[in-house]
Structure 1
């Protein structure tokens, strides 16, 4: 902790902790306790003196005593806090300069090109860690390792994370239903749609990464990095439009509203049915049998007091079981997804 927060090296932190536990110590005696060479300890103690964490004993200048932690460490902590405040001020200043510069930039400065899967993964990870408000993500085949569903640490910081998954991803089981369930459990909002037009990753409405499809070959992989511009505005509008029409993915009964006598498996089957998946595909995703899927759907129809799946889909939308869209057109879409081919 001392090395992480206050900027001490691990050797300095170990030496200071040991010195604090002693009345006083010589460099040789302290080196023996810590497990290093006496010459190295002399250099460590000299640096601790510079930090104000150690001083020579008044009665014997060959011995060292630790400065009181409550005083010395607090002073060091205040220095670190002041440095962080200055860094944050500098960051805000640079951000303002950047924004002012990008307002007048040309087309070549609006879009950068990222080459290679590893470079894409690093850039996505970097801007994701820097997110402050919201991340929006389109996920579609082919699925690469860089298409991570979410970062739990980002959500824990209060960042909203919305993902729209193309239905074909569920058919291919990449990501798996278990992976999606884990993402939902961590706080991610996941919806399913028939098609998404492109892979997309937007952070805070300020930056977007658009991976380029066409080859799964890592050497040929590339992506566009889109800065604030009318193009970015269009990508955000595209995501919001798809989000409104997509179907919420249900992974537990707790995600449903006012649905009596239903467990997690029943809720999952209902949610996947409304995305348009076949009974066989649902059974494969949930590691159960098509017969079980059919029996559970029959139970849901009995609960809703309807005769077929078309009515079940309309009933679920009308009562808001899946927080379905409220307009009549979107309800009709939910019914169509529940009964593919009608």
Structure 2
């Protein structure tokens, strides 16, 4: 246990052997510690130089120890310096060394973090504050030249909806390929059916999914923006902007996976082959109802979104089933996908 204070195993063996004797010679301690006498003597001299043991002062007139022999000089005997006196400086020295090591460790760790942050600075940019987040978001949408990929989830926290609508219109007007995946929770918080209809009519592609892991916008597959959820803890809205990297590639893959699994919100009849003649063609209003139902919206919710009565929604669904020649809504969904209604 004394090795933690800088003593070697042999030094600790001699030191602890001397603990049980008032004083002892090198030969005595060598026998008790299992060492050679010469090594024991060398260790005692070293311990004495370090103040851990002292040369014993024999009491005048004391009888010689028979074990030392009758003739010749008596061997030097040693006694312990009280451990509270001798070992305390060693303990303080080790504490100081540990403190210095901890300080060096903290400095090296901080230096590594700083270096890593500078290295990652070209990959991730942190944006804090409502105005800064909104400005950066609009920059990404207005700066897109080829493609915008968007996840819509819940309530907007930093970017006003009117600004989002303006940037969407600008992107669509420039011919940007604009694809959006929306979570059902997004519809729960906004009256968006009319806005969605207008956006899709302008060229936006929209699909719905049950849930999404995050909000996100990806511009030209060169930059992505992901909000950080700090508002619950009272912090300002913030976001990270991700530049070209493996992380950006992963975000693009995430979007494509959700897009492939999403359900089209609704489509119009234009551009889908030849139109069926006469009353065999579903109306745009019927297709709106169909799209909402395929997205998992209930009849009551669909009626509320479209400003209709439940009976009207049910009547439109019944006519679609009649047009399809099917007996269930599950069959209606399969038929609608097969003939291009969705």
Give the TM-score normalised by the residue count of structure 2.
0.59
2:289 match: 269
How far does residue 167 in structure 1 lie from its aligned partner after superposition? 1.4
2:152 to 134, 139, 162: 139
Say whether the 8 Å CA contact 1:143–1:175 is kept in structure 2: no
- 2:284 and 2:123 mapped to 1: Cα distance? 46
1:6 match: none
2:313 match: 293
Report the 3-state secondary structure (helix = DSSP H, G, I; strand = E; otherwise coil) of the residue aligned with 1:282.
helix
2:327 match: 307
Q: Deviations over 1:204-244 (max 9, x none)?
A: 00000001235379962111110100000000000011111
Say whether the 8 Å CA contact 1:269–1:296 is kept in structure 2: yes
- 1:321 and 1:306 mapped to 2: Cα distance? 15
Number of corresponding residues = 217
- 2:288 and 2:230 mapped to 1: Cα distance? 33
- 1:296 and 1:141 mapped to 2: Cα distance? 29
1:115 match: 128
Say whether the 8 Å CA contact 2:147–2:177 is kept in structure 1: yes
Q: How does 1:1-342 map to 2 (within 5 A)?
A: 106-144=119-157, 146=159, 148-149=164-165, 150-172=167-189, 174=190, 176-213=192-229, 215=231, 220-250=236-266, 252-254=268-270, 260-322=280-342
Q: Deviations over 1:49-108 (max 9, x none)?
A: xxxxxxxxxxxxxxxxxxxxxxxxxxxxxxxxxxxxxxxxxxxxxxxxxxxxxxxx8334
Unmatched segments (≥5 aa) in structure 2 = 1-117
Give the TM-score normalised by the residue count of structure 1.
0.59
Unmatched segments (≥5 aa) in structure 1 = 1-104, 323-342
Q: Deviations over 1:18-47 (max 9, x none)?
A: xxxxxxxxxxxxxxxxxxxxxxxxxxxxxx
**Structure whose CA Rg is larger:** 2
- 1:120 and 1:214 mapped to 2: Cα distance? 13
Q: Deviations over 1:252-305 (max 9, x none)?
A: 443766563221110100111110100011011111111111110011011100
Rate the CA distance shift 1:217–1:263 in 2: closer, same or farther, 3 A. Answer: farther
4+ runs deviating over 6 angstroms:
none
- 2:235 and 2:214 mapped to 1: Cα distance? 20
2:35 match: none
- 1:284 and 1:115 mapped to 2: Cα distance? 37
Report the 3-state secondary structure (helix = DSSP H, G, I; strand = E; otherwise coil) of the residue aligned with 1:198.
coil
How far does residue 182 in structure 1 lie from its aligned partner after superposition? 1.9
Say whether the 8 Å CA contact 2:206–2:265 is kept in structure 1: yes
Say whether the 8 Å CA contact 1:117–1:219 is kept in structure 2: no
How far does residue 320 in structure 1 lie from its aligned partner after superposition? 3.1
How far does residue 144 in structure 1 lie from its aligned partner after superposition? 3.6
